Amino acid sequence: MQRIDTQLLVLGGGPGGYVAAIRAGQLGIDTTLVEATALGGTCLNVGCIPSKALIHVAEQFHLLHSAAELGIRAGDARLDITQSVQWKNALVDRLTTGVAALLKKHKVKVLHGHGEILDGKTVQVGEQRVHCEHLLLATGSQAQALPALPLGGAVIGSSQALSPSAIPGHLCVVGAGYIGLELGIAYRKLGAQVTLVEAQGQVLPSYDAPLVQPVVQRLEALGVALRLNTRVAGFEQGQLLFEQGPPLACDQVLVAAGRVPCTAGYGLERLDLRMAGRAVAIDEHCRTSMRNVWAIGDLTGEPMLAHRAVAQGEAVAEQVAGHARRFEPRCIPAVCYTDPEIVVAGLSPDEAGPGHRQASFPFAANGRALTLQAGSGFVRVVAREDNHLIVGWQAVGAGVSELASTFAQSLEMGARLEDVAGTVHAHPDPGRGGAGGGVAGAGQGHSCLTRLGCVNGALNRAIEKGDCQQHRHRFHRHRGGEVQ
Ligand code: FAD
Ligand code: NAD
C-alpha cells in the first residue's frame, strides 16, 4: 500500500474537479486529482462538447438540404456519420489532452482510478491510500434510469447517441428536456424520423410557454412528432409501449429523462453528509456539513450545468488557499441549444411577481433578422418597477446563446434598464464584449447587431417616457464614487 499525503484531494475530474485542481495548483496548493474514467468528465467526453459538435454536424448537413428556398441547390449531399464521429472524437481528445497538460503544468498529481472514500480525510485509489487536509467531492451526475426502459440493444442513453454508427430510421426520444430536444433536433437534421415522448404537457417544461413556442413551431416545420402527457411502459420487439394508447414502432429509443447526482458506489455514505434531496447539501461557500469536506457541480444538484461546476470549483480552490470567497451568483445563465436557441438568466416574469415590469421585442420586427431567415423568437427583459433594476432576461431565437454573457453580466453588475440601453456599441466588430456588446460570436458577426437591436427594442419598450434621466448611467455614478 502506497501512502500519499496531499493538502487538497479532488475526487472527480469533470469541469468542476479539474478547474478546482488547476486553480489550486496555480495558488500553490499541493493538490491530487482522482479520476475513474477520463479527464474532462461528462462535459468534455459525453456531454456539452460532443453534443454541440454533433449539433454542428447536423446543422451543416441540414443547411445543404434546406437552401432551395433561397435558390441554392447543393446537389446530392450525403452523410458519412463515421467520419463525423471521428471528427468529434478528435476534438474531444484535443480538449482532454489540454486538460491533462494544464494539470501537469500546475503540478497537480493525477491518479487514474476509482476513488473509495474511507473517511473525510482518506481516499483509497487501487493500491494507493491518499491522506488529505481538504476533500473536494466533484463526482458529478448520471442519467436517470427508467425501470421500464433498461439500456441495452436499441434502447440507448445520451452517451451512445453521441457516437452513432448509423442514423436510425425512426428514433423515439423519451424525455423532451435539454438533451431530448438538442439531440432529437440534431438526429432529425441528420435524416432520422424523430418522435419526442414527454411525460408533461409541454416540451422543456421548466420554461414558460411563450419562450418554448418558437421551438415547438420549428419542431413542426422540421417534422418532429410530439407525444405529450405520455408515459412509456416498455420496449418490446421494435415497439415502444405506453401506459395508455397504441404502441409505436421505432428503430431506436433514446432515454433522456433527467440526471441525478452520483452518490453511490464510492463510500460517500461513510461521511453521513447532510443531503438536499438526492444531492449533497452545501452552503454559500460550497462547504458540506463536514468540516473541510467540500462539494461542487452536479453532485450538489440543480442547475446541473458545466459553468456552475467551474465557478464553484474556482471558489473552493481559492478558499482552501485562504481567500475570502463565497459562491453566491445573482444568476447562472442557461442555454438550450435547440433550433432556435433559448437563453435564460435571472427571474422570469412569473418568478419576479408583482412590482416588476416586463417587455419583449420580436425578431420578426427586425428586417435584418428576416433577411437572415431568423425572424422567429424574441428578447424579453424583466425589471423592478421602482428603480428599473434588471432581474431577468429571456430570449429565444437564432444565435441567442451569444447573449448569455451579456445578460448574466448585466444582472451581476446590478444594471438598470437605462444602463444597458445607454451603452454604445462599436460597429462592425464581431468580437466586442461587455454589457450589450458581448452578443457577437465567431462566424456569426453578421447577425449580432440584429440580436442587439432586439435587446434594445425590449429595453426601450420597458423604459417609459420620462423615466430615462431618472435612472440613467448608474455605472457612471459608480465610477465617480457615488454608489447608491
Ligand atoms: P462530471 O462532469 O459528471 O464529472 C464527474 C467526474 O467524476 C467524472 O469524470 C467521473 O468519472 C468522476 N468520478 C465519479 N466518481 C468517481 C470516483 N469514485 N472516483 C474517481 N472519479 C470519479 N452543461 C452545460 O453547461 N452546457 C451544455 O451544453 C451541456 N450539455 C450537456 C449535454 C449532455 C448530453 C449531458 C449529459 C450533459 C450536458 N451538460 C451541459 C451538463 C454538464 O455536462 C454537467 O453539468 C457537468 O459535466 C458537471 O460537471 P461536474 O464536474 O460536476 O461532473
Ligand atoms: P431534463 O430535466 O432537462 O429533461 C428531462 C425530461 O424528461 C423532462 O421534461 C421530464 O418531464 C421528462 N421525463 C422524465 N421522466 C419521463 C418519463 N418516464 N417519460 C417521459 N418523459 C419523462 O433532463 P435531460 O434532458 O436528461 O438533461 C439532464 C441535465 O443535463 C439537464 O437538466 C441540464 O442540467 C443538463 N444539460 C444541459 C444542457 C445545456 O446546458 N444546453 C444540455 C443537455 C443537458
Report the CATH number at residue 349. 3.30.390.30
Is residue 54's pLDDT more than 80? yes
Q: Which set of grid coordinates corresponds to residue 34?
A: 482522482
Is residue 433's pLDDT more than 90? no
- Tell me the CA–centroid distance for residue 445 and ligand 2, in Å: 31
Ligand 2 atom closest to Cα of 175? 7
- Tell me the CA–centroid distance for residue 216 and ligand 1, in Å: 28
| Nearest residue by C-alpha to atom 38 in ligand 2 | 178
Residue 327 lies in a domain: no
Per-residue pLDDT, 469: 56
Report whether 62 contacts 142 (CB < 8 A). no
The single-letter DSSP state of residue 144 is: P
Measured CA to CA, the distance from residue 278 to residue 201 in angstroms comes to 25
Strand 225-227 to 193-197 pairing = parallel
State what percent of residues in the chain have pLDDT above 70. 91
Q: Verify that 11 and 138 share a domain, yes or no.
A: yes
Per-residue pLDDT, 472: 56
Can you tell me the mean pLDDT for 42-60? 98
Per-residue pLDDT, 479: 45
Measured CA to CA, the distance from residue 420 to residue 381 in angstroms comes to 11
Q: Please name the helix (run of DSSP H) or strand (run of DSSP E) that holds residue 19, with its range, or none.
A: helix 15-26
307 is catalytic: no
| Nearest residue by C-alpha to atom 23 in ligand 1 | 305
| Nearest residue by C-alpha to atom 26 in ligand 2 | 258
- Tell me the CA–centroid distance for residue 43 and ligand 1, in Å: 5
- Which residues line the pocket of ligand 2, CB cutoff 6 A? 146, 174-180, 182, 197-200, 205, 231-232, 256-259, 303-305, 334-337
Is residue 430's pLDDT more than 50? no
Band of pLDDT at residue 135, cut at 50, 70 and 90: very high
Per-residue pLDDT, 447: 55
Ligand 2 atom closest to Cα of 259? 28
Band of pLDDT at residue 179, cut at 50, 70 and 90: very high
Residue 329 lies in a domain: no
Q: Verify that 131 and 278 share a domain, yes or no.
A: yes
Overall domain count for the chain: 3
Q: Which amino acid is at 227?
A: R
Can you tell me the mean pLDDT for 107-118? 98
Band of pLDDT at residue 448, cut at 50, 70 and 90: low
Band of pLDDT at residue 262, cut at 50, 70 and 90: very high
Measured CA to CA, the distance from residue 301 to residue 279 in angstroms comes to 5
Ligand at shortest distance from the CA of 298: 1
- Which residues line the pocket of ligand 1, CB cutoff 6 A? 11-17, 34-37, 41-43, 47-48, 51, 114-115, 138-141, 158, 179, 262, 266, 297-299, 304-307, 309
Probe ligand 1: pick from 37, 139, 263, 302, max atoms within 8 Å of CB? 139
Is residue 43's pLDDT more than 90? yes
Maximal CA-CA distance, the chain: 75
Band of pLDDT at residue 431, cut at 50, 70 and 90: very low
Range scoring the smallest mean pLDDT among 154-168, 281-295, 358-372, 447-461: 447-461
- For the sheet containing 248-249, what is the strand order? 232-236, 239-242, 248-249
Q: List helix spans (H) across 321-444.
A: 349-352, 367-371, 404-412, 417-421
Q: Which position among 427, 471, 473, 478 bears the catalytic label?
A: 427
| Nearest residue by C-alpha to atom 8 in ligand 2 | 177
> Peptide bond before 428: cis, by omega within 30 degrees of 0?
yes
Q: What is the pLDDT of residues 381-419, one digit of tens each?
A: 999 999 999 999 999 999 999 999 999 999 999 999 999
Can you tell me the mean pLDDT for 287-310? 98
Can you tell me the mean pLDDT for 198-219? 97
Phi and psi for 426 in degrees, rounded to 5?
A: -75, 150
Is residue 342's pLDDT more than 90? yes
Report the 10 Å Cβ neighbour count for 13: 32
Ligand 1 atom closest to Cα of 114? 19
- Tell me the CA–centroid distance for residue 179 and ligand 2, in Å: 6
- Tell me the CA–centroid distance for residue 204 and ligand 2, in Å: 8
Per-residue pLDDT, 16: 98
398 Cβ contact partners less than 8 Å away, ≥ 6 residues apart: 339, 340, 341, 363, 369, 372, 373, 374, 376, 377, 447
DSSP for 189-238, written as a single string: HTT-EEEEE-SSSSSSTTS-HHHHHHHHHHHHHHT-EEE-S--EEEEETT
* Nearest alpha carbon to residue 258 among 201, 346, 174: 174
Per-residue pLDDT, 392: 98
- Tell me the CA–centroid distance for residue 141 and ligand 1, in Å: 6
Is residue 275's pLDDT more than 80? yes
Q: What angle do CA 452, 454, 460 make, to 5 degrees?
A: 105
Q: Given 207, 238, 257, which residue is the final one in a domain?
A: 257
Residue 210 lies in a domain: yes
Which long-range contacts (C-beta less than 8 Å, at least 24 apart) are formed by 360-368? Answer: 360/458, 360/461, 361/454, 361/455, 361/456, 361/457, 361/458, 361/460, 361/461, 362/454, 363/397, 363/398, 363/450, 363/454, 365/454, 365/457, 366/450, 366/453, 366/454, 366/457, 368/447, 368/449, 368/450, 368/453
Per-residue pLDDT, 365: 87
Per-residue pLDDT, 440: 29
Residue 325 lies in a domain: no
Ligand at shortest distance from the CA of 241: 2
Can you tell me the mean pLDDT for 112-128? 98
Q: Which amino acid is at 26?
A: Q
Percent helix, percent strand, percent coil in the chain, to nearest 5: 35, 25, 40
Can you tell me the mean pLDDT for 334-359? 97
Probe ligand 2: pick from 253, 254, 259, max atoms within 8 Å of CB? 259
How far does the chain reach from its first CA to its final CA, in angstroms?
Answer: 61
Q: Which amino acid is at 155?
A: V
Q: Verify that 90 and 139 share a domain, yes or no.
A: yes
Q: Verify that 291 and 248 share a domain, yes or no.
A: no
Bridge partners of 8, per DSSP, are 31, 134
Phi and psi for 460 in degrees, rounded to 5?
A: -65, -35
Q: Verify that 422 and 449 share a domain, yes or no.
A: yes
Residue 109 lies in a domain: yes
Is residue 65's pLDDT more than 90? no
Instruction: Decide: helix, strand or coil at residue 55.
Output: helix
* Mean pLDDT for the chain overall: 92
Q: Which set of grid coordinates corresponds to residue 372?
A: 437572415
Q: Verify that 347 and 435 share a domain, yes or no.
A: yes
Q: Given 227, 257, 287, which residue is the final one in a domain?
A: 257
Residue 481 lies in a domain: no
Report whether 137 contacts 293 (CB < 8 A). yes
**Please, what is the angle between helix 178-189 and helix 48-66, to 10°?**
40
Can you tell me the mean pLDDT for 214-240? 98
326 Cβ contact partners less than 8 Å away, ≥ 6 residues apart: 284, 285, 315
* Nearest alpha carbon to residue 135 among 37, 266, 40: 266
Per-residue pLDDT, 424: 82
The CA–CA distances, whole Å, from 183 to 196, 269, 376, 409 equal 10, 35, 21, 29
Per the rule left: phi > 0, alpha: psi between -120 and 50, beta: everything else, 154 is alpha
CATH number at residue 80: 3.50.50.60
- Tell me the CA–centroid distance for residue 170 and ligand 2, in Å: 21
| Nearest residue by C-alpha to atom 42 in ligand 2 | 178
Residue 150 lies in a domain: no
Residue 433 lies in a domain: yes
Q: Verify that 283 and 134 share a domain, yes or no.
A: yes
Ligand at shortest distance from the CA of 174: 2
Bridge partners of 151, per DSSP, are none
Is residue 452's pLDDT more than 60? yes
Report whether 261 contacts 298 (CB < 8 A). yes
Is residue 23's pLDDT more than 60? yes
Full domain range(s) for residue 209:
155-257
Band of pLDDT at residue 444, cut at 50, 70 and 90: very low
Range scoring the smallest mean pLDDT among 55-59, 307-311, 363-367: 363-367
